[in-house]
Amino acid sequence: MQDNLGNVNRAFSKQSERYDEYDSCNEILIWMRKKVRKHVLANLKEGDRILELNAGTGLDALYFVERGFTVYATDLSDGMISQMEQKKSDYKLDQKLIVKQCSYTELDLLNGEKFDYVFSNFGGLNCIPNIKSVTRHLSLLLKPNAIITFVIMPPVCPWEIGKLFKGKWKEAFRRFNKKGIQAHLEGKYFTTYYFKPSQVVKAFGNEYKKIKLEGLATFSPPPYADKFPHKYPLSYKLLTTLDEKTSLIAPFKFWADHFILSMKYSPNNNSAS
């Protein structure tokens, strides 16, 4: 796994310099990020201290800092850390944004810190074969009743399965490979794994309770189809409207490009999640 995370570091470090520009021009990512932030804001309380995993260039961290929260932003990538440090300097954020290079599999290194909220966006956690590598350390860092929100890619994505109609069998079923698939980014290869919501809930254990599960982009296209909204604006609007109306309904909340899962840390909870 360390070799895989090393390639993730190198790939995303290369991408970091142009990530913000790509994000700001991708209408799909803009819509998805807006949905995720709305989900998180609904669970946050005034004064909450947020731990963000795989924080990237700090786009979400900056958003939450600007709304009065303190964010402890972590990432594995050298390049992403550099971008976050630059934002911290440019915006003079001082102690409102703490930046630390740290893998989400080594959260025990943060022991002594305490958080009200833990957040991971856009499938960063899909780079490890077992979510327990992350959740096993969380209890060291959480205050009672803390909330955790993970945004993760599941195996069933209707948009990708639809590639069957173009004869792309391998792409249509690639997420179903339990051993993971080889992802390619910036000339580097690393393994990506896909998880059912039930697998992620199970990885938390009995001290956590599921509070909300929301599908993200079941009918509308994934971010890599960034030209779709411009070529078919009416269709895209219809699909996102359909997503808005069905994101909390089974089976659509299980079948999407990503799902948003929120859990509550309840250390005195003796029943399974």
**Per-residue pLDDT tens digits for 101-113:** 999 999 999 988 9
Average pLDDT estimate for 145-151: 98
What are the structural domains, with CATH classification, of the chain? Answer: 2-265 (3.40.50.150)
- In the structure encoding, which two tokens stand for residue 92, read together? 């003079």
Mean pLDDT, to the nearest integer, of 183-206?
92
Q: Are 53 and 116 in contact (CB under 8 A)?
A: no
User: 260 forms bridges with which residues in the sheet?
Assistant: 151, 214
Q: What local confidence, expressed as pLDDT, does residue 272 receive?
A: 42
User: Which is more confident, 224 or 3?
Assistant: 224
HSE of 15, CA atoms in CB hemisphere, 13 A: 18
Q: Are strands 258-265 and 142-152 parallel, antiparallel or unpaired?
A: antiparallel
Q: Can you tell me the distance from the alpha carbon of 96 to that of 93, in angstroms, rounded to the nearest whole number? A: 5
pLDDT in the model for residue 48:
98
Percent of the chain with pLDDT over 90: 85
Q: Tell me the pLDDT band of 270, cut-offs 50, 70 and 90.
A: low
CA distance 193 to 63: 28
Cut 0.85: pTM above it: yes
CB-hemisphere CA count at 13 Å for 165? 5
pLDDT, the chain, mean: 94
Residues 7 and 191: beta-carbon distance below 8 Å: no
Using alpha carbons, select from 77, 70, 75 the residue that is nearest to residue 93.
Answer: 70
Bond prior to 229 in cis (omega within 30° of 0): no
pLDDT, tens only, 66-113:
999 999 999 999 999 999 999 999 999 988 999 999 999 999 999 889
Neighbours of 257 (CB within 10 A): 25
- Mean pLDDT value of segment 11-18: 81
